[in-house]
Structure 1
Amino acid sequence: MHPAGWAAAVTFLALVGAAGFRAVPGVLMDPLHQEFGWSVSTISAAVAVNMALYGLTSPFAAALMERFGIRKVVTAALLVVSAGSGLTVFMTASWQLILCWGVLVGLGTGSMALALVATVTGRWFVKRRGLVSGVLTAGGAAGQLVFLPLIAWVATTYGWRPAALGVAFAALAVAPFVVWLLRDSPADVGALPYGGTEADVVVPVRVGAGRIAIRGLVEAARARPFWYLAAGMMICGATTMGLIQPHFIPAAHDHGMPVTMAASLLAVVGLCDIAGTIASGWLTDRIDPRLLVFASHQIGAALMALAAGVVRDQLHSYDAAWYAGGALCVLAGGLSLLVTRGRARISVPGH
């Protein structure tokens, strides 16, 4: 097998492991509320911090991968995710939840989000780059599909602490595979990118990678289509990761549905997500590395995650949040129609 296949396989495994803890908020929200008496708004604040950092970290994680290498950044990110999820079992105050669940896990998973997919596919693949990008992006959905029912069962049977520890060990178990099998570029193993030639070799930007990320933000902010895309992605994040992912299971539980059944239904969403991301990757000629649009997705997710918690506390129902999410989706569809295709593509140095 071409070395690029191993790089893609390990990257997929890392993304699945990182997604495991991202599937936890909806399952553990009710147990945390019952044990500590924290309001849904308080727990949602930790989810909001997590999702905001998950998105805002991504563009700068790409710069870190350029500067220090993919393997070092991914290994460190997995260790941070493992530490954040493992330390939650010792928490006694809500600020500790925000620190562990919000800050640590948000930074760790954000370092292995779209930035990792774009960097690995950009360096290792020329042929079938779009398909591989779709498969790797599906890693997050695969993590939801695998972990959600399992975490729900463990939390229901043994309590939320064993569930959190299980995710911590899962993320930790992936780290040795990353150290052993993942390399920064094909040149490290004496190979060329899959389907490419020497002219396709991407040389990492070791100096000034952070400035490139900031310059990309400034340049993108000057373009009106970027703000249309960013607003649409923010709404997408608000209605999916901000509303559905953390609040669907508690809402279903409010209506008498068992947690394990609700988690299984949410896992079906992950199954459809896998099909959609792989199909979209197959239809893509090459990667469009607009990482900052992804950050907008997560800012929307953060805002809606917090807002839905406040709605639940104040109105004792999620109904208003669901209606607002539907209205925002209609708005996002309208914004997408305002985006026009330019003659030139935006490129990121080094990709």
Structure 2
Amino acid sequence: MSFEPLLMSRLKDARRVLVAGAGGGFDVYAGLPLALELREAGHEVHLASLSFSHLYGLPGEVWLEPELARITPDTASAERYFPERTLARWLRLHGLPDTVWAFGSVGVKPLRAAYRALVRHLEIDAIVLVDGGTDILMCGDEAGLGTPEEDMASLAAVAGMPEVATRLVACLGFGVDAYHGVNHSLVLENLAALDRDGGYLGAFSLTRQSRSGQLYLDAVEHARAAFPEHPSIVQGSVAAALRGEFGDVRFTDRTNGTALFVNPLMSMYFTVTVEALAARNRYLDRIERTVLMRQISTVIEEFRDELPAQRPPRQFPH
């Protein structure tokens, strides 16, 4: 009997895998353990991120296409907050391939064009979108959606790329999005529905004992030291859970006034297929023609205004 996660089984025949942070900022760090495990298994792995940094001041030579920049440890930028470059510098410290591709924070049409350009350039045959948290799993009718704009731009962009045969989603940080109003009973309800649809690939744990877990902790600490004034709440919470901490763990002043619930579920990956997740989203078709990120926000607001009712939050019964 094999207990290999289905996510890894689906990627077994992929030669070149793109692991991409779906929601911007430090989401790409949630994909780092997967990238390390895939590389150890013999795959060629590339990292990418929808960037929150101001990319337009970057030198011309970094641009492969509009909204797609190749970031290395030496990329010149006036931006202090630059998670992609920070990750590239960490990769170099560990002797790993140190390019992190950065997508502009734009609407679906230009973002899909950038994804297609990167897929062609690198000859990618599998994409794993990674969400730090689980708000990418929201369908749109829930009482709280978290911060959906970037996640939905990435999901819609990749969902419209049938030329890539294997397209998966992995979420790390279950419970973190309560900080942004997500009810996690509804997350579980959505996962059950995806399972009925054949799109849920199960869950598995990142462990501190694994090499990828140890390197992840090191990368998160390296990023925290680079941005002490703005550490990632999501990755900090996952790292705390991975260290075995529990409850209202304090690792940044950014969470003052909010009671955190760090627990072992935060260090688990929940995995689904892009096709099934996109099919269950109730407004994804409406953002197909967006060019700007703010247009996605407007579409989501309009959709929610039309709903006769939202699914109310539910408490865990135990």
TM-score (norm 1): 0.28
Greater relative contact order (CA < 8 Å, ≥ 6 in sequence): 1
Using structure 2 for the length normalisation, give the TM-score: 0.30
More strand by proportion, 1 or 2?
2
